[in-house]
Amino acid sequence: MARPDRLFRLLDLLRRLPQPVTAARLAEATSVSERTLYRDIETLRAGGALIDGAAGFGYTLTEDSALPPQMFTRLEVEALVLGLAEVQMAGDTALAEASRTALAKITATLPERVQRQALHAVQKTYRFERRPPAPESLSLIREACWEEEVIAFTYTDQTGVETRRQVWPLSVVFLDRTLMVLAWCCLRQGFRRFHLHRIAGAARTGGSFRPRRVPLLRAFLAQLRDEGEATRQRKRAQGD
């Protein structure tokens, strides 16, 4: 691992691991000797990171010069902790790990008093009934949305009929019990919602629909709002 990459990883570990964290654990995580680890700590300190501790006692990152200082109200801190905890329970493995890393980075930029509020937040989240684990295709679909790449997959509808689809993925929606993909379907030539657990054999096709994802997603969401409003009006009319 190149030294700049190793220093970046070391700083990230100091943000994320329970502190104080020992030199032995940091050295193992960065694949260096403890002697090299001590030199890396001094390099980070010279760069402006305030790291308390010493050999034999462990290290604590008290101020992170690599991240801009931030300030949140106590309620905003609670909202951040609660929201990211929900992601850890609802997302796939990669998304859950990203939420933990994000919280560590945010917490590292807070003043000490507010850091304590984040570490000991009052509000927690827990799901007794969790949705099934996210399919492996979630990562591919998420990246295809980012890159605006056309994907193909086999889709099984609620009646058990399978069709091969080629779509422009627009968004992944986390619902109470399932995940859905909002997309433009090339086969049906229209917007469609696909249950992620009914998708099999997802693969990139090499095609691109850049830069159409954002306007298409806006149009799809507007269509969904219109459909929802029409349904509400129909129910009100039936109630009258």
Range of the domain at 178: 137-239
Between CA 144 and CA 181 the distance in angstroms is: 11
**114 in the same domain as 171:** no
Q: What is the pLDDT of residue 79?
A: 92
**83 in the same domain as 34:** no
Evaluate whether residue 95 is within a structural domain: yes
**147 in the same domain as 235:** yes
**146 in the same domain as 235:** yes
Q: What is the pLDDT of residue 123?
A: 86
Question: Quick check: bond before 169 cis, omega within 30?
Answer: no
**160 in the same domain as 104:** no
Q: What is the pLDDT of residue 197?
A: 92
**189 in the same domain as 155:** yes
**16 in the same domain as 82:** no
Of the candidates 183, 220, 217, 213, the one whose C-alpha atom is nearest the C-alpha of residue 198 is 183
Evaluate whether residue 128 is within a structural domain: no
Q: What is the pLDDT of residue 14?
A: 85
Q: What is the pLDDT of residue 69?
A: 56
pLDDT tens for the chain, 240 residues long, are 778 888 888 888 888 787 788 889 999 989 899 899 899 999 888 877 888 887 777 888 876 665 555 667 889 889 999 999 888 887 788 888 888 888 888 887 787 788 888 888 898 887 777 777 788 899 999 999 999 999 999 999 999 999 999 999 999 998 878 899 999 999 999 999 999 999 999 999 999 999 999 999 999 999 999 988 888 888 888 875
Q: What is the pLDDT of residue 71?
A: 67
Provide CB contacts within 8 A for 58, sequence distance 6+.
19, 20, 21, 22, 23
Q: What is the pLDDT of residue 118?
A: 86
